[in-house]
């Protein structure tokens, strides 16, 4: 029996042309792929969450491939992941996504080195979560620090979890605050 039962999925694409300055030649696209699933451990304490985490890799791959198909693999420069757990669950039920969602994105994108940022919460249906993103090859590329809102109006219900992956095509439109730039990344250790 599978631990993953999907009730619904969503794909949100946000396109930014300017932030008050001139219209850019290359708009920034951020996309979030979400899946709302039944929480197999809602209302109970399960000491071993490892089978759930392992099985979630398939869901992670499904969402990561949807984002790559939407944005184009060669265009993706930022990423992140998120989980919103319904109120009959616990934070650890969302934390399983750290490995499963991160592993899936790294695999689909060809093993970029930067850590995958994350956000998670236990909340009611309709909760909106701001998800941080950064450059996929080095965490400290300042121009690529950004965020995207994720959420679905009727999710998660008390016995559900909303899992999300986020990818985007570049840094902030009109970024001009200095720091490490993507063309200066040399160490490839995910940090600088």
Q: Which residues of 18-48 are buried (b: 16+ CB within 10 A; e: fewer)?
A: eeeeeeeeeebbbbbbbbbbbbbbbeeeeee
Q: What's CA 188's distance to the chain center, in Å?
A: 21
Identify the pLDDT of residue 187: 75
pLDDT at site 118: 97
Domain boundaries of the chain, sorted by first residue: 6-184
CATH code for 6-184? 3.30.1330.110
Q: What is the pLDDT of residue 20?
A: 92
Beta partners for 133? Answer: 146
Per-residue pLDDT of the chain (192 residues; tens, 9 = 90+): 699 999 999 999 999 999 999 999 999 999 999 999 999 999 999 999 999 999 999 999 999 999 999 999 999 999 999 999 999 999 999 999 999 999 999 999 999 989 999 999 999 999 999 999 999 999 999 999 999 999 999 999 999 999 999 999 999 999 999 988 999 888 766 765
Helix, strand, coil percent content, the chain, rounded in steps of 5: 25, 30, 40
- Whole-angstrom Cα distance, residue 106 to residue 7? 26
Residue 189, pLDDT score: 64
Q: What is the DSSP string of 38-97?
A: E-TTTTS--S--HHHHHHHHHHHHHHHHHHHHHH-GGG--EEEEEEEE-TTS-HHHHHTH
């Amino acid at each position: 029996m599978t631990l993953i039962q999907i009730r619904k999925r969503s794909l949100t694409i946000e396109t930014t042309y300017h932030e008050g300055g001139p219209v850019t030649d290359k708009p920034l696209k951020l996309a979030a792929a979400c899946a709302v699933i039944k929480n197999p451990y809602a209302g109970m304490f399960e000491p071993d969450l490892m089978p759930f985490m392992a099985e979630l890799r398939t869901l992670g791959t499904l969402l990561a491939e949807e984002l790559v198909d939407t944005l184009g693999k060669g265009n993706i420069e930022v990423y992140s992941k998120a989980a919103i757990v319904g109120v009959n669950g616990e934070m650890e039920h969302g934390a399983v996504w750290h490995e499963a969602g991160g592993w899936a994105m790294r695999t689909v994108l060809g093993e970029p080195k930067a850590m995958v940022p994350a956000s998670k919460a236990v909340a009611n249906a309709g909760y909106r979560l701001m998800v941080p993103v950064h450059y996929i090859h080095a965490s400290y590329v300042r121009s690529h620090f950004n965020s995207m809102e994720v959420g679905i109006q009727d999710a998660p219900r008390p016995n559900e979890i909303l899992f999300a992956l986020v990818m985007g095509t570049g840094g902030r439109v009109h970024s001009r605050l200095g720091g490490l730039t993507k063309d200066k990344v040399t160490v490839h250790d995910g940090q600088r």
